[in-house]
Amino acid sequence: MTVDLNVDSLTVELSGRAIVDAITFDVEPGTVVGLVGPNGSGKSTVLRCVYRALRPSRGVVRVGGADLDALSARDRARRIGALTQNSTGELDFTTEEVVALGRSPHLRGNAPLTAADRALCDEAMRQVGVDHLRGRGVLSLSGGEWQRVLIARALAQQPEVLVLDEPTNHLDLRHQLDLLRLLRSSGLTVLVVLHDLNLAAAACDRLCVLSHGELVASGTPAEVLTESLLSTVFGVRAAIVEHPVDRVPQVLHSLSDHPEGTP
């Protein structure tokens, strides 16, 4: 089932300071929304409220119209899949065992995986290209391989909403593109934090831009990614060009000093 995600007036106060301030946005069913913004702007904090590692000080998050606070922890785990930053594998499970953990919210008690559960895990491992690692202990995986195992676990969970915090970290270029293509074609409702604005523009239907805990722009990549926004929000001067094939905006950076008045 495809559902929407609604973030409504979300505020998180820590130590008397609003690090996320009255943020409201929607992710339409089956679309990909990118959360972008400078370091410390509040992106991970918003995601943590969506996968409920954190309860907001004020505001509501709804999945398919249901307030997260009204759902049981098990229901939330069934409906929302999360790929967080810095998830480390502490136990030497195999790849296959880690991916199988994605089915836990759907199992009763200690019931074993069914053939259908195993088929979903196999499909998830195949989709992210880690099926050849199924018997490997995860402590021996490279950073990119481990990241893909975590993505397979989130897909095996079959959530309605998938939230991902910088999922392209550790991935080489081909795997970054493969992952973003997979998110786009998954049919899931996706909220993803990305630092690479060019990948964000290519992969996301809409972008939400955070700055100092506030939502300062939202819309299609073409509406949002302007030279003026890059200057005011990110403090960089860069030119925006249209991708010749995909027609999405792309940011051209330069390391040289620009004369006043040029982007």
Which of the ranges 32-40, 64-72, 104-112, 183-191 carries the binding residues for ligand ATP, by CB under 6 A?
Answer: 32-40
Q: Are 63 and 80 in contact (CB under 8 A)?
A: yes
34 belongs to the binding site for ligand ATP (CB under 6 A): no
**Residue 232: what residue type?**
T
Helix 143-156 to helix 173-185 angle, to the nearest 10 degrees? 10
86 belongs to the binding site for ligand ATP (CB under 6 A): no
Helices (H) and strands (E) counted in the chain, each on its own, are: 9, 12
**Of 84 and 226, which has the nearer Cβ to ligand ATP?**
84
Q: Which of 42, 56, 105, 167 binds ligand ATP (CB under 6 A)?
A: 42
CB of 104 to ligand ATP, least distance (A): 27
Nearest CA-CA partner of 182 in 165, 168, 195: 168
- Classify 33 as helix, strand or coil: strand
Q: Which of 6, 31, 45, 95 binds ligand ATP (CB under 6 A)?
A: 45
Q: Which of 23, 43, 125, 164 binds ligand ATP (CB under 6 A)?
A: 43
Nearest CA-CA partner of 99 in 145, 49, 38, 166: 145
CB of 88 to ligand ATP, least distance (A): 17
CB of 134 to ligand ATP, least distance (A): 31
Q: Are 207 and 36 in contact (CB under 8 A)?
A: yes
- Classify 143 as helix, strand or coil: helix
Q: What is the DSSP letter of 146?
A: H
40 belongs to the binding site for ligand ATP (CB under 6 A): yes
Which of the ranges 13-21, 23-31, 225-233, 241-249 carries the binding residues for ligand ATP, by CB under 6 A?
Answer: 13-21
Strand partners, 25: 7
Which of the ranges 11-19, 58-66, 102-110, 223-231 carries the binding residues for ligand ATP, by CB under 6 A?
Answer: 11-19
44 belongs to the binding site for ligand ATP (CB under 6 A): yes
- Phi then psi dihedrals of residue 143, to 5 deg: -60, -40
167 belongs to the binding site for ligand ATP (CB under 6 A): no
Phi-psi domain of 131 (left: phi exceeds 0; alpha: psi -120 through 50; beta: other): alpha
- Residue 235, token pair as written in the block: 């403090």
Strand partners, 175: none
Q: Which of 21, 27, 32, 41 binds ligand ATP (CB under 6 A)?
A: 41
Helix locations, the chain, DSSP H: 43-50, 73-79, 95-100, 115-127, 143-156, 173-185, 197-203, 221-224, 227-234
72 belongs to the binding site for ligand ATP (CB under 6 A): no
CB of 75 to ligand ATP, least distance (A): 25
Which of the ranges 25-33, 42-50, 139-147, 230-238 carries the binding residues for ligand ATP, by CB under 6 A?
Answer: 42-50
Q: Which of 8, 11, 18, 19 binds ligand ATP (CB under 6 A)?
A: 19
Residues of the shown chain interacting with ligand ATP in the complex, contacts defined by CB under 6 A: 14-15, 19, 37, 39-45
